[in-house]
Each structure stands twice: as structure tokens, then as C-alpha cells.
Amino acid sequence: MPSKIVIGLGNPGQQYAQTRHNVGWMVIDRLADRAGWSGRARNKDAAVAVGGRYKGLDLLLVKPMTFMNESGIAVRKVLARDRAPLHDMLVVVDDFSLPFGKLRFREGGGPGGHNGLRSIIDELETERFSRLRVGIGAPDRGFIDHVLSTFDPEERARLDELLDAAADAVEAWARDGVNKAANRHNAFELRPADAELLAPPGEVGGPAGDDGVRRTKTGWRKVRTEAPE
């Protein structure tokens, strides 16, 4: 089976690490954690990438380091280096037109107002590539402020489940193709947030604070959020 390339869109820099716009990177990190590849990624051709064999799949996980608006530069270089056809590439991207927690596979189509997708389309000169859109919720302010904001406490309490579901969806795409993956995962619904996880950051049971540390009944715990570099 040829290698499947999974591109997660996001912005480099700690100030962007936990923002809605970086949910594509979060999904890549979750997959790298599952495969035991965290800490092994290498920086090359304007992206960090790590890959290998996982659950019988040959995967290459890629995070463009060009900032969102120039994501296409890194994507074009990765495809050229690996001589990969477009049907072996999936782009994981945030989407504020979807409610928080919804997943949508799409084969082709325009950028939908997303500058990262627009850059990829411009660089590749085609819209014919698959993408997994991860809902980050509609803005209640300007959309730029929204995508660069962090998730609210209720969303953060359910973010782990969403990232796991998105990682499952990527694995399904790599194994079965976009149509079967869409049939299985486009109907995904997040469960309501556990009320115990809605405590303010710093209280027992609350979400992690800006430093990534969460207080539990047994002590303080660091939530893994680092990039697989």
C-alpha cells in the first residue's frame, strides 16, 4: 500500500498552540502519539514530518511551518519530494461553518473562506484533494479573532474526545478511502460535556490552564500538547 500523507493545518509558535485555528495540528499530534512517533519529527522543506507503519498503514504526518496563509508552499514541496498523487493526501483543517465537534469529509471544493486551503489550491492549481473539516463553532465576533482564540471551558472538556474521533476518521480514510470514511464519521456527535470538567482552570476537575496543567483529585497533571518534533 502506498504511503498516505496527512497534512494538518496550523500556525507555528506557542502563542497559537491552543487556538481553534490549530486543531489540524492537534489531530496530527494525536495520531503521532498513538503511533508512538512523538518527538521523532524532522523539519524539512518548510514542514515538520514524521512517518512509518502503524496498524498496517504507511502514514506520513505533516505540519506546514510556513504559517497558515502560505501552507500551500509546504504542501507542494512534500508532494513533490514524495512523488505522491493527490488521492493519497488528506488535509485536516478547522472550519467555523461547522458546529464545534462536527466532522465532515469532503472531496474537492473551494477554500470556504479558509486561507490555508486557499494557499494549497493556489499552489497545486487544483481543488481536487480530500479534506477532513473539523468544526470549531461559529464566531460570535470577527472571524479572525474567533479562529485565533482558545476553546471555551465546555469545549476544552470535550476536546480530547473530538481529537480522538478525528484521528479515528483519518485512520478510516487511510484504510478505506474518503467515501467509506465519510459514511462512518460524518454523522459523529460529541457527547455533552461532563459537568465535573466545567470547573474553572485551577480547580479540581477543571480544564488545563494556559500552561497546559490541569488539577485532578490526585494532583496536578500536565496535558500533552507538544508538537511531535
| Residues with a known catalytic role | 21
Instruction: Provide the pairing of β-strand 130-135 with 89-95.
Output: parallel
The widest CA-to-CA distance across the chain, in whole angstroms, is 53
- Give the start-end residues of each E strand in 56-107: 57-64, 89-95, 103-107
Ramachandran quadrant class, 109 (left: phi over 0; alpha: psi -120 to 50; beta: rest): left
Residue (of 83, 88, 80) closest to 7 by Cα position: 88
From CA 113, how far away is CA 84, in angstroms rounded? 26
Give the DSSP H/E element, type plus range, for residue 51: strand 47-54
- What is the rounded CA–CA span in Å between residue 132 and residue 162? 13
CA distance 166 to 84: 23
